Structure formats: structure tokens, C-alpha cells
Structure 1
Amino acid sequence: MTEFLPKSAEEVLEIIQWAVSEEAPLEIIGHGSKRGIGQPLQTEHTLDLSQLSGITLYEPEELVLSAKAGTPVAEIEAALHAHNQELAFEPMDYGPLLGVEPGRGTMGGLLAANLAGPRRLKAGAARDHVLGVHAVSGRGEGFKSGGRVVKNVTGYDLSKGLAGSWGTLAVATDITMKVLPAAETETTFCISGLDDAAATQAMAIAMGSSAEVSGAAHLPEGVVGRFIDGGFSGGGQTVLRVEGFGPSVAYRVDLLSRLLGDFGSVETLDEALSRRLWREIRDCHPFADGSPAPVWRVSVAPSRGHELVDAFRRAAGVNVFYDWQGGLIWMRMEADPEAEILRKLIAHLGGGHATLVRAPLPVRAATPVFQPLPPALAALSARLKAQFDPKGLLNPARMAFA
């Protein structure tokens, strides 16, 4: 087995051109923090981008940052923090959930997985912030898309097309992102004791108000004790994050009190505890327990999430919590992932998708890890794959299930 460790974009190009000439499939990795997601790969060669690292451009006044694909996200966030800026979509760190140390995610992996955190409700995902990319396709051809300015119109934006492709279309070598000022402070407004249906109603009211909530999650009684060292009391917690300038945050928290006070007892978390809580929600902290037990990441309409969980619990043992106003459900199974039952329920309740984020290797090999595509979309994806990687050399079959 050969492990390639390129240190430049030119070396990446040469390696992929060699792979094309030899028809040699490649596994594409950065630091391996998300290596356990997707179908297990059977490749003799690995293209490791961890040495292709470093911030190549950062202009705080222009709100633009460029970095090589192997640059750790932690390094990027540290540079932004020094200028009171951030990646507004607060990308998740999958490492702890998959048994890898935290902080090993890279810029390339961020784009390939189209990462997002709790602020997706307000800020979108990585796809919505990428400005440009330099990459090498599975044909062994270098290309670039987009640029280094926020306003950039160049027709079809290939940089956004690579988001969520999990390295199956092209290998990004340099990525440019839009960055934004960080909030001056934040507070989390908490309502105690709601069941899942009542929590869904409360979150909908909050998101429909002028409180400008930037995070809305429900932590049922079965998992709430695993957040902030068991610091919550009073059963399940419905949590709403408010960010911005101090006086504005105080005013909007008061508005939430007036809107939602009748739902149950309320309290607030100060800035430090609030930041910690939302990092733990972002990184699926309750299920990052070193266990191989299957974990699903399920996305449905926010109003239907609690219905899906209620129906699923009649067929399987599962522990859950909700993010994105109830539209993102993290589900930890006790044994079998029950993929067929889960996906039938998703279809019955109006659609959505489920990704098996964690499971033992034999389970991953026997399960469609990513949501199966409807025929028209599957055909479109196949044509896209044929254009970018006709020989199927890049992360072969990672997103497919035979």
C-alpha cells in the first residue's frame, strides 16, 4: 500500500495524473477525523493531504481567508479569533464522535462534508460561505472556480458543487472562505421540562419572533444530563441562543421570556456556559462516548422531527436530541441501526435524509450509509461523477452502496 504525502498543489496534480494512467483508486484523507463515515473503502493507495497545510491569505478587513486543504480548522479558528472573527456556520468536529481526538478536521474536509453547526438556521453551511477553490479532478486536470472576493459571478459555481461530495469528484488543494465578525456576547434561554412536541412548538414561536435566535435545540431528559457536566436541573431542556451586542441580547432574552414564559420554568446561561453548551450540541457530545453503537444524523422538516422519533421508538430502542429547531435529530441506537424502518418513516412523514455517521465496520459495509437518491437525482449525480471522475478513482464507492 502506498501513502502519498504531497506538500504542494503541483504534487497533488502529479499523483492524480499517475493514478489516472495506472487506473489506481485513491482514498483521499486529511487528518482522518471523518474517515469512519461512508462505505468502507478498498484501495491500495492513500492520498494524504495533511502536509498540504497553511493559511495562504487572510484579509480581516475584506472578510476573506484562504487556506490549503490540509490546514486544521482549529488553526483557522485561532487566527480568526485573534481578529474577533469566525466561520459563521460553526463547523462540527466529527472527531470525538468517531473516536478521534478533537481538532483534527481540515479545511478540505470541511468543504467535502459541507459542515455546519447549530447556527445553520441563520448562517447556512460551508457551501454558503465558500468563495473559491483550486482543485484537481479525477481526470487529472487542475481547475479553479470562484475567487477571493465576496461578490463574484462566474456562472456555475463548481466550488459549491464540491461541497458535500466527500472527495468523490475532485481533490481541493486551496479553499477561500468568507468570514464574519464574531458576536460580542451570547446568552442561552432555557425552558425546563417540555416534552418533544411542546418543545417543537416553543422553538417555532421563538424562531418566528423578532428575537433573532441563532440556535434552537431540545435536549430530552434521557440525554440532558450529559451536557455541561450535568449542570441542568428540572428534566429536559429546550435551549435558545441569542447573540450580538450586550443591550440587544438582554432585550431579546426579555422578549423570549414574555413570549415563552407560560411554557414552563425558565433560566439563562451566561456567555461562558452558553458557548460551551453549543459546542457540545455541535459536536454531538452526549454520544461521543467511545462506543461503536450506531449513530444517525437525520434531517427532516422541523415540525415533524418529534413525530418521526415517536414512531421510530415503537420499533427500536433509541436515544435522541434535537438541533436546528427540531429539524436535525441525532439518534443513538442500542444495537441494529434499523435503516430500512427509519428511511420508510422519513418518506412517510414528507421526506428528509438520514446518514449513518457511526457504526462498526461490518454494519457500515452492509448498510446504505448515505440516503439513497431518487432516480432522477441519482442519474444526475452519476453524470456529474462521469464528468469529474470517469474512472471512479477518487474515494471509490464511499457514497455508493452495491
Structure 2
Amino acid sequence: MSFKVPRGTQDILPEQTPKWQKVESIMRELCRVYRYKEIRTPIFEQTELFQRGVGDTTDIVQKEMYTFEDRGGRSLTLRPEGTASAVRSFVEHKMFGLPDQPIKLSYVGPMFRYERQQAGRYRQFVQFGVEAIGSADPAIDAEVISLAMDIYQSVGLKDLKLVINSLGDKETRDSHRTALINHFKPSIEEFCSDCQKRLEKNPLRILDCKIDHEHPLMESAPALTEYLTEASAQYFAEVKKYLEILGIEYVVDPNLVRGLDYYNHTAFEIMSTSKGFGAITTLCGGGRYNGLVEDIGGPDVPGIGFAMSIERLLLALEAEGVELDVEDGLDVYVIAMGEAAKQKAVELLSSFRTKGISADMDYIDRKMKAQMKSADRLGAKYVIVIGDTELEESAVNVKEMESGNQEKVAFHDLVNYLQK
């Protein structure tokens, strides 16, 4: 019997992981600069957390969650996104009581959604995200968007478009909800069964439908921005002002709605405009979620965040032809001829690695010519050959692979020589 990875998952092979590590290191460094500290939450949580936090009218909750019952009869779900878990931790550990607010968190890890596999979209995918919880200042909205843009630009992406919208406050949403029901109700039978169910529960979700997105009524649907209260309109204006201060270009799309129920006020997506990227252009999405902390059992504390798929980030790099500057080369390859030389090689490898010098050797007793080819394939900067003569003289010729130059160096001075 042969085994393969489950549908919708992938193996990230050793030749691919340096790119992942590079991207993640850039994210972590920018989080350090912006002061978003890493949080690590469980891969599974109580199912009700996502039903309440993500929203029971969303595709995620209705169709895409991996839910199971444990041996104690408890319903658990593999996390489909990171915000609900981060907010749960914020509430459980009473971070709202800490003196320095807002609490700025970041996370990276696997998420799970049962959806149709597409380019850059998997059922197990790696998501990076940030949350700023505890401030209703429009400036923090702009900061969160700025961090997301900085990440994409720092890895080398140029074909980017930021799209923003305001989902308004409760009064705005109630007025808009009534307008949407009146707009769609006469022709709702022309829409998919999901949209028909959403009409009364959450008509805003109809605008996010992947099946009926080209229906004429979508284009003519009442825009949420037309129903903004004075306070909501002022908030959105200030977010835009701060984006302009930061020099971040944006496009306002009145039909932009995020696929999660907890968003209000600012919503945004960052898209790839590269021709080779594909039909689904969204790289990153986020927004403000005032009310979510309270829904999960905490105080009435505002928050904003975003999440991005690392798989789709790497796909965008490929579409733009951007090569990441990753260092995966080998400093020194040691070739040993004979058992005594092999013992010395093992000793030298240990001394090199202790000082941070990457080193390797042959472990399958290949001939010298085959070992030299291996050193070349591995991109070794230097090669050392140890035989009986070298053991007698306690010195070796260190060959620089790029130039072909060789220099004789005593065993005891090899570390210093390679460090220089």
C-alpha cells in the first residue's frame, strides 16, 4: 500500500523551507519593530468559540470547519483562523487589565479549512496575523494596514493594491441591512440556497457570495457607505487621513465585505495586481472587530487585525519573478580518506559547528571524486581533504571552490582561518 499526503495538504520540502524561513524572519523582524509580540495558541479549540467568534452564517462555520468529538464527548474544532483564538486568550488571561494598552499580538501557524483546493489555497495552510486589542483610535487601523503593506514590500512585492471600506457601526449596519433585504428579496429565488438563507440572517454576506458574484443585483446593491452614521463617516475619514500621512495609496470599494461576521468599521484587503497571479487576487484581509471581545466573554474592548496566507505570499513572489535572498550555502565540506581521517573529520566538524560554521561530510563511503561533486552540489565555499599525509603533518589544504585557490592550514588554526 502506498501513502500520499491528504488532499488539500502539502509537504514543504527541504529545498523550499529556506524561502518560508526567510519570509517568516522578515515578518518577525517587522513585528519586533512595530512591537507586536508573538502569541501561540492551541491548534484546536472548543467549537463554540468559532461559532460565536467567526459567526454561524459564514462559510467557514457552515461548511469548512474540521470538527470532531473527543473521548470526553466535547466538540472541538481545528482552528480555521487566528483571531478568535487570540481574543479568547486575551480574555482568559485578562490582558485587558494590563497597564499598557492596546495589547499588540502576532501569530504564525497552521490553520484548517475544508475548501476546494486552488493555487495557493490548501485545507491546511500557514497563516500569519496580528491583532491590536484595546484601542478605538483610527491611527491604529492605519498602523495595522501599514504593517501588512510593509511585509509585502519587504519581501520584494511591487504589484499590490490596497482596497478599503467602512462597514460602519451598529446603526449603520441595521439601516443597510434593511436596504439589502428590500433590494434582494424580490429576486432572491435567483440566488443560491446559501444566499437565500442569509437574506434574513445576515444579508451583507450575500455580497461576499462566490457563486452569485456576477448577478446584476450585486452591482446595483445599496452601498454600505451610503448609510454611514456621522460618527462612522468621521472615523473612516480619519483612517484615510492617516493612510495618506503614511504615504499608503488605497482604493475605496463600497462593496468590500470580509468573510467573517465580526467585522465593523474599517475593512481592508491587499491584492496582487500581477498578471501571472491568477483569478483570486486577495493576499491579505483584515479589519476592525469592536464587539468581538465582549461576544467571547470579555469586556467591551475594541480591536483590529489582519491575516495573510504565507502560501499565497510565495505564489505572488513567483508571479512577479522575485527571488528571495536566502542563505542556504555550506561553509565547508570535509572529505576523509580512510578510517583515521574520518575520525579526525568528525572532530573537525564538531569544532566548526560549535563556532557557527556550517559543515558537512560524506557518510556513505563514496570515492573522492563523488564527494567533490557532492560538495559542489551543496554549494560549499571551502573543501578540506584529509588523508594519511594530512594526519602526519597536522595540516590540510583548504580549497576555495569559487577561485580554486588552496592554502595550507594547521588543524588547530582551521576555525580562525574559516571565520576570517
TM range (shorter): under 0.3
TM-score normalised by structure 1 residue count: 0.27
Structure of higher RCO (CA pairs closer than 8 Å, 6+ residues apart): 1
Structure ranking higher in helix proportion: 2
Please identify the structure whose Cα radius of gyration is greater.
Answer: 2
